[in-house]
Structure 1
Amino acid sequence: MKEVVYNSDLHFEHKQWNSELAFWEDELKTFKNRLSELVTRWTDKEVLAQLEHYQNQFILHGGVIENLQETIEKHETNIAGHSQKGDESMDVALVKKHSEFRYQMEAQRQIYADLKKEFFRFLSKYM
């Protein structure tokens, strides 16, 4: 017996991911504001180099967020196309793509959590 994966289930997960990505975007704005504050307080080259490192990391992570959002949007468009045809379950290839994307989200969640921990340690040292 095959397991059926419904479009509504995938859509629900996409909504969850989009909310998480929007939260990350908002957090990154706050982190960038913290960096701006620190730039005005410090002249030490080592500290400034670390600030630049975090600035670059936040820019990179912002790009990753955009890519993830685009991928979700494409998958949503695909789901909508299936739904318009009256096909409420996804084919194996699309479910496989969704599972791979779930893995990407989980990996990015860990990368982002590690970056935040590292940044908070930095802030506690230099704020």
Structure 2
Amino acid sequence: MKNYVNIKHIKNLNNDGLRGIAFYKQELGILQERLQEIAGDNTAREVQEKIDHFQNQLLIHENYLNELKHDIHANDEAIEAELLTTGDLISENVAAEHTRIRERYLNEEKIFNELRHEFNRFAADWM
């Protein structure tokens, strides 16, 4: 017999993750604008190298956020498919996948915030 998990908490966490992803995507746009300002005002080689570094990091984070968003939506679809057969419970496999996605989101949040702090220190020196 399969073990099942209640989904209310999981659905709330998925929704929180989607809102967080939307927030971080907005942040990416703001950081990109600030980076373009710095690039326009500074042509020194060391500044250009850091600009390239941050542009690459912003692109990596944008791609990863898109991937996370896709995975959260896929997890929601798996939850909905199981609800059709069980009523209000999901299998441990779907719950475990949610946990993996949630851990990836929390890790991305931590790394993104570290990047944002690094960028702000850089911007303070060159704006």
Q: Which category of TM-score, normalised to the shorter sequence, fits these structures?
A: over 0.9
Same amino acid, percent of matched pairs: 22
Pairing 1:17–2:5 present: no
TM-score, normalised with respect to structure 1? 0.92
Instruction: Give the match for residue 85 of structure 2.
Output: 85
Pairing of 1:27-106 with structure 2 (within 5 A): 27-106=27-106
After superposition, what is the alpha-carbon deviation per residue over 1:3-35, rounded to whole angstroms, capped at 9, x for unaligned? Answer: 863222211111000000000000000100111
- Give distance in 2, aligned partners of 1:87 and 1:75: 17
Task: State the superposition RMSD in angstroms.
Answer: 1.4
Q: CA deviation at 1:76?
A: 0.6
Cα pair distance change 1:19/1:66, threshold 3 Å? same
Unmatched 5+ residue regions in structure 1?
none
Aligned residue pairs, count = 125
Unmatched 5+ residue regions in structure 2?
none
The AA in structure 2 aligned to 1:50 is: K
**Greater shift after overlay, 58-67 or 106-115?**
106-115
Higher strand content, 1 or 2 = 2
- Give distance in 1, aligned partners of 2:96 and 2:83: 18
For residue 89 of structure 2, give the secondary structure of its aligned residue in structure 1. Answer: coil
TM-score, normalised with respect to structure 2? 0.92
Q: CA deviation at 1:99?
A: 1.4
- Give distance in 1, aligned partners of 2:83 and 2:96: 18
- Give distance in 2, aligned partners of 1:68 and 1:118: 23
After superposition, what is the alpha-carbon deviation per residue over 1:40-98, rounded to whole angstroms, capped at 9, x for unaligned? Answer: 10110110110111011000000000000000010011111122234311111111111
C-alpha contact (below 8 Å) 1:7/1:83 kept by paired residues = no
- Give distance in 2, aligned partners of 1:68 and 1:77: 14
For residue 90 of structure 2, give the secondary structure of its aligned residue in structure 1. Answer: coil
